Amino acid sequence: MGKQVGKQQLTDQAIALFRAKGYSATSIDEIVKACGITKGSLYYHFRSKEELALAAMDQVHRHFVDHVFHLITAVETPGVDELAAFDQAVETFFLGHPDGCLLANLSLEIGASSELFKARIRRFFDDWRACYAEVFTGTHPPARAATLAEDAVASVHGCILMHRIDGNIEPLRRQHRKLLALASQEGRDAAPSAD
């Protein structure tokens, strides 16, 4: 097993295993076996399984910043079109990753027991929520937009969890249609004024 494997391949393999099996159920032995390397090779790049998990979370977060969140954050006044592109990118990602959202999965498994994990998970969801708030601010007062953004993250991730359980993407698509309606002028007119 003298194979050379870089940090990126180790992180990619860890993401796949952590997403599918969970952090606790994935051993260092499984990761190195999947990569075809020795433990020493893994420890050359990462001091611990926790450090590898943090790198995995950072990589997933960066992917969303660059390929999903960017669809909203790169636009000065994002609206329905940007939200539709964002929604499509989310659906495409999770159709390709049926084991769900790594950070959401980790939050359910160990997020509360690790301050380091919790901070990373919180930043990821704060960025997701900020994207929704930015869009909803175009048609709703700021406080209402913030509430809608919180609710959107919760409902979308509930749909992603259910997709992981039953393989059905339709609830997520329905939720995305509701969010598009809320982001439109009609959504503003139909939304209740009090929370």
DSSP of 51-104, one letter per residue?
Answer: HHHHHHHHHHHHHHIIIIIHHHHTSSS--HHHHHHHHHHHHHHHHH-TT--HHH
CATH number 3.40.50.1970 given to 55-190: no
Whole-structure pTM value: 0.89
Domain boundaries, the chain: 55-190
Mean pLDDT of the chain: 91
Question: In this structure, is the dihedral angle defined by the CA atoms of residues 131, 9, 104 and 178, taken in order, positive or negative?
Answer: positive
Query: Is 85:71 a contact under the CB 8 Å cutoff?
Result: yes
- Tell me how far apart the alpha carbons of residues 70 and 56 are, in angstroms, rounded to a whole number: 20
Q: CA angle, corner 81, sides to 167 and 158, nearest 5?
A: 30
User: What number of CA atoms fall less than 13 Å from residue 22's CA on the CB side?
Assistant: 7
> pLDDT tens for residues 143-182?
999 999 999 999 999 999 999 999 999 999 999 999 999 9
Q: pLDDT tens digits, residue range 59-81?
A: 999 999 999 999 999 999 999 99
Report yes or no: 32 and 70 within 8 Å, Cβ to Cβ.
no
Q: What does the alpha-carbon distance between residue 40 and residue 58 come to, in Å, rounded to a whole number?
A: 23
Q: What is the pLDDT of residues 109-146, one digit of tens each?
A: 986 678 889 999 999 999 999 999 999 999 999 999 99
